[in-house]
Structure 1
Amino acid sequence: MAGTHKAPTGEQRGEGIGAQLKAIRMSRRKTLAELAERSGLTKGYLSKVERDQVNPSVASLMRLCEALEVSVSTFFAAAAGEVVRHGAYPSIRFGGDGMHEYLLTPEGERRVQAILSVIGPGGGSGDEPYVLPTGVEFVFVLEGRLRIVLAGEEITLETGDALTFAGDTAHTFTSVTDDGSPTRVLWILAPALATPKTG
């Protein structure tokens, strides 16, 4: 992989997720009504997601992945190799709104996964708490301010602050910078999110 990747816009992020979700649903021969019933989301909402009218929250994306029996890593672009160069981070789609996310570890690395989030003011995971299928999550604020609601407790992290918590702890996050600049966050997940089975 050569060159640099431009950060996708919110519309581009949603378009990729919507198209992928629709393709997966159709490959499973499921109707929107069936997916709505299995995921607990409304048929109207799912239709808007598939038509790129809304970006799903992280929690909604997790519910859809569970209902479709795919890993969230289905939406990750593959890394080029062991070295991931500055300016060429593969972008990933992980739900939420107002942010761009990049995979910093090789796609095949199973022991640990590093993700860089660049979150615009007010952007984040969405209002619904979610959990990830991983043992431990570590978050380090590189720049800006991040509000995390962790098991109902609100925590504000400033530049240089770090937080570690169990992956099965329900949480949400939002950028709360005062000056309009984005919040840059490094997430470490151990073990890495599972790669979907093939075949």
Structure 2
Amino acid sequence: MPDNTLTLIGPRIKGWREKRSMTLAELSRAAGISASTLSRLEAGKRAPNLELIVPIARELGLGLDDLVPRTAPDPRVPRTTKHVDGVRFETLSLESSPVQTYKITLPGKPKGGTEVPDPQVHEGREWLYVLSGRLRLVLGEQEVTLGSGEAAEFDTRVPHWMSAAGPGPVELLSIFSKEGKRIHLRARSTPR
């Protein structure tokens, strides 16, 4: 536990004790800790330890998390890149996130080549935002082309497929459920 975290425990104990309208002597007796020890702890002159904090938390009707400040985890997302059949996926969310966010780069459509959609179906919803290029999105029987700055949202139980709409690549942000992550990282188009 970092030192700055330890210095916050005493004031928190005092704050909770006062919210409970307890005197120092009352909490001292109930927790089985001397009044002088409790006073020094609240003033930051005594280092907190579990032997002191656990009975105090119990008598105040609190969990240890209420007395010991949580440290915020590093909010940065480790960047990983995965290539699947020419499609580049860059992670923009933590693996533990309830939704997965990726920057996806789809290669341009080859000259003279046509792609036959291999639609995917799975539980969840997907949100797309086109950063650059033009995106061909097939949803069931419907086909739409999205340009830079356009967004789409759809139910992933509808058969869906996407590719670049022209010879240049398309970059997009995609947000979907973990089930969607599994499907998208193995999906591919079928060249004709």
TM-score, length basis structure 2: 0.48
Which structure has the larger Rg over C-alpha atoms? Answer: 2
More helix by share: 2
